[in-house]
Structure 1
Amino acid sequence: MPAPAKNRQMLRFGTFLAINLVALTAPAPSIAQPAPAAAAPAQEIRGFSYSDLADLALTAQVVAGVTVVKAERLKGELAPNLAAGKARFLIEAQTGMLLRGADGLAGTISYIVDVSLDARGRAPKLKKARFILFANRVPNRPQEIRLTSPYSQLDWTQTTESALRAILTEATAPSAPPLVTGIGNAFHVPGAIPGESESQIFLTTADNRPISLSILRRPGEQPQWAVALGEMVDDSARAPARDTLLWYRLACFLPQRLPEKAVAALSAGNADAVRADYRHILDQLGPCGRTIPR
């Protein structure tokens, strides 16, 4: 005797739902900086910062542009742990572009997403909508992907696409700065005249490539600081422009305080000078600018 239609549907989606529920139900921690209203779904959020896009793009296996072909709403037992004011959909979409994904992506893919209902409790119309997705692959299921977070389905716009292309192009270049993991040690050298000095702060990175920060002070001048992506600091070293990958690696990943171990070998006066120089660098970098949880 054939299984009832409901049971067949549950069997069809059971594994797929289990794979996708982690990202869909992940709690959103509090954010220090101004954030979109909590009820706003990812695809309706406007004004993502450079850091938001970099966080999403650089941690996803796949970044793709898609057009929704079919949107099937899942209810009841097919939508466990669904938050109030949300609707869950199984999406079938056509891949239109692949911004990141070394192994390619199927022409038609499926994924699950939660979206917000409007004031009348109605779900948005998703069919034919264009989105940019940040997702991971599902092992042994080449036509299925799993969104990496509740913010991983964004409305497609040319501005967003261009920003993501720039981030991912810079990240894959041979000269791309590595991920900063902390601070190693630092030194400080007073100059020959009062008010003149130089500090250098060495950073630790995920792949052990060298990065150092240098700060030069001269009497009557603004402090000059630069970043060196190598063993030596030369005239080519500059402070990074905002909304570039190097700026993001520093502004979003440097600790807010210089660790004591970095200046443990220095005299008290030199240690205080390095701390002041480090605070100056953080001030010049400005806030990371995240508006969504990582």
Structure 2
Amino acid sequence: MSMHFTIRPVALCALTLVQPQLMAQVPPTAGFALPAQGSSYADIADLVVNSPLILDAQIRKVTKLPETQAVGVPANIQRVVIDADVNSLIRGSDGFAAKARFLLDVPKDAKGKIPKLQKRRYFLLGSKVAGNPGMLKLSRPDALVEWSPENDATLRAVTKEAVQIDAAQAVSGISGAFHTQGTVIGEGETQIFLRTAGGQPISISVLSRPGQAKRWAVSTGDVIDESAVAPARNTLLWYRLACSLPRALDQRLVESGEPRDIANAQADYRFVLDSLGPCGRNRPAPRMR
């Protein structure tokens, strides 16, 4: 995805204007970035969908803050000021400065030291700070992704989908479901309707026919799409479903209330969850967006 990258001169201001309380909430054993190897699609997607600004940058300078400017930070965490050179703007409107500055809480090792960060390349995910050109507020304390070809490809793929007008929205629950019996034994269809953060209609259909493998599909419009298919793994729609759907279908949401319809609808819902597979998230889920 090609995006405009505006270089602007900037005088970096004092950090006293931006002291996000969120930084003090970093668990003592937490890391500060997704690693170059082994980062899951879900972990990267969690950051992308909650970050209006994404920068590809290289760390130039690390300045440790004294305890007087890091009140409430655990003893085994070092709060630092990071100055970074911006290589490119991956997501964001109105460009960004050629240099970025932000606060970061880094876990100390057994000797009380932090890793050497200078010259390391990271994706920085967050938002601009109003009135402070070049200042970045991370989306969460560990909203850094260490650069690697694999992380680069995944982050750009998620971003490309996330910026689309019809991008799949966060799933907040199930609004209703029904099961229709077919004309022959073993035939039937289940429809499951989802609630989303912005009101986008998303529905799941599961079709059963004798002698055929059960099939399911997802529609993202007001009308059920007959050509809809199940989402491919490691896509935004797959992530929204695999990481957000409830682990079971509440029987009270099945319209007819008949035991047979409830049992069939719940079995079809379990089939969908099994088909999606595990979310793969390795860190706590962020607030829904």
Give TM-score scaled by structure 1 length: 0.85
Contact 1:189–1:197 (CA<8 Å) still a contact in 2?
Answer: yes
Per-residue displacement from partner, 1:70-114 (whole Å, max 9, x unpaired)? 211112212222223322211111111111112321111211111
Aligned residue among 22, 31, 43 for 1:52: 43
Aligned residue among 59, 63, 66 for 1:72: 63
**Matched letter for residue 23 of structure 1:** L
2:128 pairs with 1:153: no
Contact 1:42–1:115 (CA<8 Å) still a contact in 2?
Answer: no
CA distance in 2, matches of 1:224, 1:44: 36
Aligned residue among 191, 200, 220 for 2:182: 191
- Counterpart of 1:14 in structure 2 is 16
Gaps of 5+ in 2: 1-12
Secondary structure (helix, strand or coil) at the match of 1:95 reads strand
Aligned residue among 229, 234, 240 for 1:243: 234
Secondary structure (helix, strand or coil) at the match of 1:142 reads coil
- Counterpart of 1:256 in structure 2 is 247
2:60 pairs with 1:88: no
Aligned residue among 204, 209, 221 for 1:218: 209
- Counterpart of 1:233 in structure 2 is 224
Contact 1:23–1:148 (CA<8 Å) still a contact in 2?
Answer: no
The Cα of 1:264 is off from its aligned counterpart by 4.1
The Cα of 1:214 is off from its aligned counterpart by 0.8
Using a 3 Å threshold, how does the CA distance of structure 1 residues 44 and 83 change in structure 2: closer, same or farther? farther
**Matched letter for residue 123 of structure 2:** I
The Cα of 1:288 is off from its aligned counterpart by 1.3
Deviates more, 1:206-215 or 1:229-238: 229-238
**Matched letter for residue 132 of structure 1:** F
CA distance in 2, matches of 1:43, 1:200: 37
2:108 pairs with 1:109: no
After superposition, the CA RMSD in angstroms is: 2.2
Deviates more, 1:185-194 or 1:199-208: 199-208
Contact 2:30–2:107 (CA<8 Å) still a contact in 1?
Answer: yes
How many residues align? The count is 273
The Cα of 1:181 is off from its aligned counterpart by 2.2
- Counterpart of 2:283 in structure 1 is 292
**Matched letter for residue 24 of structure 2:** T
The Cα of 1:267 is off from its aligned counterpart by 1.9
Per-residue displacement from partner, 1:223-254 (whole Å, max 9, x unpaired)? 11111222333442111111111101111111
Contact 2:37–2:148 (CA<8 Å) still a contact in 1?
Answer: no
Contact 1:60–1:148 (CA<8 Å) still a contact in 2?
Answer: yes
% identical aligned pairs: 38
Using a 3 Å threshold, how does the CA distance of structure 1 residues 198 and 44 change in structure 2: closer, same or farther? closer
- Counterpart of 1:25 in structure 2 is 24
Aligned residue among 200, 203, 208 for 1:209: 200
Secondary structure (helix, strand or coil) at the match of 1:110 reads strand
Contact 1:23–1:147 (CA<8 Å) still a contact in 2?
Answer: no
Contact 2:35–2:146 (CA<8 Å) still a contact in 1?
Answer: yes
Using a 3 Å threshold, how does the CA distance of structure 1 residues 196 and 119 change in structure 2: closer, same or farther? same
Gaps of 5+ in 1: 1-10, 29-36
CA distance in 2, matches of 1:52, 1:227: 23
Aligned residue among 107, 128, 149 for 1:137: 128
Deviates more, 1:172-181 or 1:125-134: 172-181
Using a 3 Å threshold, how does the CA distance of structure 1 residues 55 and 44 change in structure 2: closer, same or farther? closer
CA distance in 2, matches of 1:207, 1:166: 22
Secondary structure (helix, strand or coil) at the match of 1:25 reads helix
Per-residue displacement from partner, 1:249-285 (whole Å, max 9, x unpaired)? 1111111122344214332211221111111111111
The Cα of 1:64 is off from its aligned counterpart by 0.8
Contact 1:26–1:149 (CA<8 Å) still a contact in 2?
Answer: no
Using a 3 Å threshold, how does the CA distance of structure 1 residues 44 and 171 change in structure 2: closer, same or farther? closer
Per-residue displacement from partner, 1:110-135 (whole Å, max 9, x unpaired)? 11111223343322222222111111
2:264 pairs with 1:273: yes
**Matched letter for residue 254 of structure 2:** V
